[in-house]
Structure formats: C-alpha cells, structure tokens
Amino acid sequence: MRGPHNIWRLIRTGATLERTGAMGIVLEAFDAPAPLRIVARVLGWPFKWLGLKGDPSTPPVVRALTALGPAYIKFGQVLSTRPDVVGDEMATQMRVLQDKLPPFPVHIAKQSVRDELNIDPDVVFSSFSEPVAAASIAQVHKAVIAETGEEVAVKVLRPKIEKAFQKDVDAFYLAAKMVEIFSPGSRRLRPMDVIEHFEGVVLGELDLRLESSAAAEFSANTSGDAGFQLPKVKWALSGKRVMTLEWAEGANSGDIAAIDAAGHDRRVLGERVLQLFLNHALRDGYFHADMHQGNLKIAANGDIIAYDFGIMGRIDEYTRRVYAEILFGFIRRDYKRVAEVHFEAGYVPADQDVDEFARALRAVGEPIFGMDATRISMGRLLSYLFEVTERFGMETRTELILLQRTMVVVEGVARSLNPHINIWEVAQPIVEDYIKKSIGPIALLSDLGRTARILARFGPRLPELAEAALIQQATRHTDQPAQRPSKLQPFLWSMMGAGLMAIFLIGLDRL
C-alpha cells in the first residue's frame, strides 16, 4: 500500500500539525533543514483548514497526535524514547501521552469475545464490566468466570484497528523516505529503521496471542524473582483479538498516597523495580519494555505486579555483555574501557581515535557523577551520549532503542517511589554479578564448552565435509596454470583442531 496515494494522509497530518500549532515545534525539534521545512509547509499550510482541531487544553504536539488517532498516539509514545531524534523537550512532552481514548461500547466487546472464542460471554462470565481502561489499540474489562468465581481482566482489540494502523504506517514510511531525501544528515538516525521498529511493535500488539505468549515466557524467566508477580494467562479464554488474564489487585505504583497508606517501604520498592529490570535485561535478555507506572501495581504484601505485555524487549547475549561492560565502565568511571568496548563492538567507526572518544565520554560522565544523588539522571546520561555519538559518526543501534527507553522510564518510576535513590549504587551489584558470570573465567569455560558441544555434533561429518570441500577446491583450480595455496587449508586445520578440542573438553566434562 506504500506509494504516492499516501500523500493525502501526509497532507492531513501536515494540516493538523499546522492547525494545532505543532508544525513549527516539530521542525525545530528535528532541526529540519530548509528543503524539508519547505516541503512540510507545502503539505500543511495551504490545507490548514482540513486539519483536525484537537484538544486546545493539551500541548500542541500532544494535541495533534491525539487528534490524528491511535497510530499517531502510539508513534508518539515510541518516538518519545528517541531524544536523539526529537530532542529532550519534545521527548518529555510525548512521554505524557497516556494513550487514553474514548472506549467502544461493551456490547461490541462482548461480540468480539463471542466471535473470537466461539463462546457466549454472558454464560461464561457471571459479570462483565464496562471498560476499566481504554487505550489506542485495545480496552480492558473486569469480569468474573462463572464456573470458578475467579476475577479476570479481559483485553479486547478495538474494531477494525488492524486496517487503520496499517494505513497510517504506510504513510509513515513515505514520510521517512521524504525525510531521508530532503535531509541527508538524518540518515545517521535511520528514520526508515525507526518506522520499521515501530511497525514491529504495533504488529506484536495487534495479535494478542503473541502477547499471551510473551506473558508466559516472561513468567517462566522470572518465576524465582522475589517480590515480583505476573498475572497468569487464561489460555482457554484467549485468542488473536481477546486475551484473558488473572485480575491484578493492588495500588497503582504512581499512587504514592495509597502506597504510604498501605505501609509499604517506598525506598525498598524503588530499588526493587530498578534491580528487577536490570536482572531481566542482563540475566534473561528478555524484559518488559513498557514498565511505566500504569503497568505496575503494588500488591498488599509489597510485591511488584507487572502486566500489559504488548511491548517486550529482547537482546542477544553478545549485546548484553557489551551493554553491561559499558554500564560497568561508567559506574567505575573507567572511560578508556568504555571507549574500547564501543570500538570492539563496532559501534564507533574504526577510523576514529579511541583516546579522543574516551575523553569525550569523560566529559559526559564526570559532571553527572559530581551531582547530588537526587540529580543523577539516566536520561541526562543518554542525552549527553547522543551528542557524543553524533560527533564520532556512530549510527543508531536499533537493537538498543527499547532498552535505552525502558531504562529511562524505570528510572522515573524508581525516583517517584524514592526521590533520593542513587541509581548507580543500586545498579552496581546487579551489573557486577552479571559481569562475573558472563565475562570472567567461568564464562569463558562455559562458552568453550558450548562451542565444543556444537562442534561435536558435526564430528562424524568432519571427514565428509573436508573431502567435499577439497574436491570442490581442486575442481575450481583445475584449469588454472599455477597452483596457489588454498585458502581452505587454514579453515580445515582449524576445523580439525576445533574438533579435537571439542572431544577433549567433552571428555573432561564426562569425567
């Protein structure tokens, strides 16, 4: 569906930005070059009268995105995680988007349950409430299972939401392409990749079976985490457009008065929410990527309850190790090591100077460490880092977008519970423990053992593979006048050596 016909959608978007007063703010935040500003004005100003009015009581950008509908609200939320793209001020504004929309009628929700699950909701549920929460993609109802009397949360997608989102995402791709054409400097920020990332997030949220699966995987990973609860999925009452979970009872993590009235220690809660996130990201490589206050409750016993698993983050083991080393380097103020890790991981172009990069990182870290604990900010650190990355030609690491964003959000939750929390002191034992287990000698032996087991599976086939490769190499060079040393020989020797090492290590393991 991508193509010129999406220009109409961009015109409507531009007209709305103009009518709400958001156009100038957006162009300034993006530091848009003159050609892009001209195109934006051409798509907006003449058609201003076609723009949506929005709610005048809200800030211009929030007003425009809310007026344009669910896809734009969701995009604003995702873009709020990219201060490197939109600037700190706008990122902060868009983080206040509460993703609240007028609910659709309860009878439509019941019909969706009936169509999706092939059941009669009036029979299966003894009660089915009006919406208790209405968001851009779905809304939630509190219900009671008639057979067991158990309270559950029933999440139902909005009618025709899939088609509406796809239309707007197609227009977003066209807009990103135009930004790349008229603003070559923006290519470092990968606007097309940002939209692709956004589309992946949305597609995951539009299939509630994936969210149910994410909840189950997350629950399995965190089952041993003290002070942490997840509501269980009711698989028999869940499908693509409907998901049913246990009802999570507790105080909203943003309701400080209710938390204090319940007698909870907010200092402990603040530390726990930060350490839980770091454990999930580093230990498991799978974390809740939408851990704002609206998705966390405090149970009567003080446990933290997380729900809404539409946005989950996953990072591979190698990236986790790199990220942990960078974080640990900052904690220890070892800027040279932080710089070296960036170069080793390929995050910084090889033609840059590692010592200059380390000096720039020191300029980032030292002012923050000189602050009082109440003023140390992960958001400020990331903001300064973005400035450094631009100077040294680093490209955006799309695999870390959710991780960086979630870290800022979790820091905000922790600070709301305990304004005096020192995030570096809280993070240090978690990061140190991960470093010891994943980068030290034990980790090296574990990596060698895992590699050996993989190679051992190919042991019986090594002679066959070597013979086939040699025959292929000999055939390739038959018509050549002179024989050159085969590039395959070092590979074969390394394979044989690896095979012998595998046999040796497995023998030791069995002893």
Distance between CA 366 and CA 20 in Å, rounded? 41
Neighbours of 508 (CB within 10 A): 11
Q: Starting at the edge strand that comes first in sequence, how are the strands of the sheet with 138-145 ordered?
A: 125-134, 138-145, 151-157, 242-246
Beta-bridge partner residues of 406? none
- Please, are residues 237 and 124 in contact by the beta-carbon 8 Å criterion? yes
Task: Say how far apart CA 287 and CA 276 lie, in whole Å.
Answer: 9
Q: How far apart are CA 400 and CA 373, in angstroms?
A: 26
Chain-centre distance for alpha carbon 260: 31
362 to 336, 358, 385, 411, 427: CA distances (angstroms): 9, 6, 11, 22, 20
CA dist 494 → 277, 315, 497 (Å): 41, 30, 5
Q: How far apart are CA 327 and CA 219, in angstroms?
A: 26
Which listed residue (84, 225, 290, 308) is catalytic?
290
Q: Which amino acid is at 188?
A: R
Chain CA centroid to CA 57, Å: 30
CB-based contact 402:81 (threshold 8 Å): yes
Residue 336 has which token pair?
Answer: 């040279």
Residues 6+ apart with CB under 8 A from 57: none
Residue 157 parent element (H or E) = strand 151-157
CA 331/CA 431 separation, integer angstroms: 9
Q: Are 214 and 312 in contact (CB under 8 A)?
A: yes
Residue 290: active-site member: yes
* Tokens matching residue 345: 């991981």
Residue 492: phi, psi to the nearest 5?
Answer: -65, -45
- End-to-end CA gap in the chain: 61
H or E element: which one contains 142?
A: strand 138-145
Report the candidate in 229, 211, 76 with the shortest Cα–Cα distance to residue 155.
211
Residues labelled as active-site residues: 290
